Amino acid sequence: DVRLFQHSGQVVSYGLLGLLLMAAPWWAGDYVMSQLHFICIYSIVGFGLMMLVGFTGQISLGHAAFLAVGAYTEALMQAAGWPFWLTLPCAALFSAAVGIIVGLPALRLKGIYLAIATLAFGVIVEEIITRWESLTGGNSGQHLKAIELFGMKLDSDTELYYLILALTAIACVALANLLRSPTGRAFVAIRDSEISASCMGVNLAKYKTMSFALSAALTGVGGALYAHKVTFIS
């Protein structure tokens, strides 16, 4: 069960899916291409939420707040003149830092109480973004320019699509490998039984916090890409 692909049929099916997605600009119309952008972005966000909720068993009802944190980090750093190859990791790191702060209550809260805490976090982030007009623009929002990567300006939908598709594939493979590692096993052990995991030597505080941080980082990446896709956030 540590193999990346369980059988050769999966290799073929995923390979065909990859080829189909890579050829999308030639067979898909403008509307379908736009939807593929969002599917890939939401897939990255979904990977993060799946790791936290599905594999670690921690409830989060305010996960969109991490997407907002990533989007605004990207917008503000781009406006300050930072290159995309630095702004994207910073969006992930800052979202992860916020995830650690949110993950701390998870050490003592469970079930409905954790759900309420994460829901409150989402409301708080929305209020901060709305009220802190000098930084975020408030309801007036923030505009984003096209991504410039190593001297190339990705100002067409096709170029942006390939960037988002590549990052989605990287996130998928990275998450699959993480879940096959001892860290991933620890996440699953916590989900199944915290008492049993603790008796087996799993550090609950460490791995719960790590799960929140990694989940938030992936969601922050999705937020940064989302901001560039819609070009305006508010």
- What are the 10-residue block averages of pLDDT along the chain, 234 residues in total? 80 92 92 95 96 91 93 94 93 95 81 89 93 90 88 87 96 92 93 91 91 95 95 92
Q: Which of helix, strand or coil describes residue 202?
A: coil
C-beta of residue 227 within 8 angstroms of C-beta of residue 75:
yes
Contacts of 56 by beta carbon, 8 Å cutoff, 6+ apart: 187, 188, 190, 191, 207, 208, 211
> Distance between CA 123 and CA 130 in Å, rounded?
11
User: What pLDDT, on the 0 to 100 scale, is given for residue 109?
Assistant: 81
Q: Determine the residue type at 199.
A: C
Q: What is the pLDDT of residues 89-144, one digit of tens each?
A: 999 999 999 999 888 877 788 888 888 989 999 999 999 999 999 999 988 989 99
For 12, 23, 88, the CA distances from 27, given in Å and listed in that order, are 21, 7, 30
DSSP symbol at 152: E
Record the tokens describing residue 48, joined without a space. Answer: 């993060």
Instruction: Tell me what pLDDT residue 156 has.
Output: 87
3-state secondary structure of 142: strand
Cα(96)–Cα(219) distance, rounded to whole angstroms? 9
Cβ neighbours of residue 210 under 8 Å, at least 6 residues apart?
183
The model carries a pTM of: 0.91
pLDDT attached to residue 5? 81
Q: Helix (H, G, I), strand (E, B), or coil: what is residue 51?
A: helix
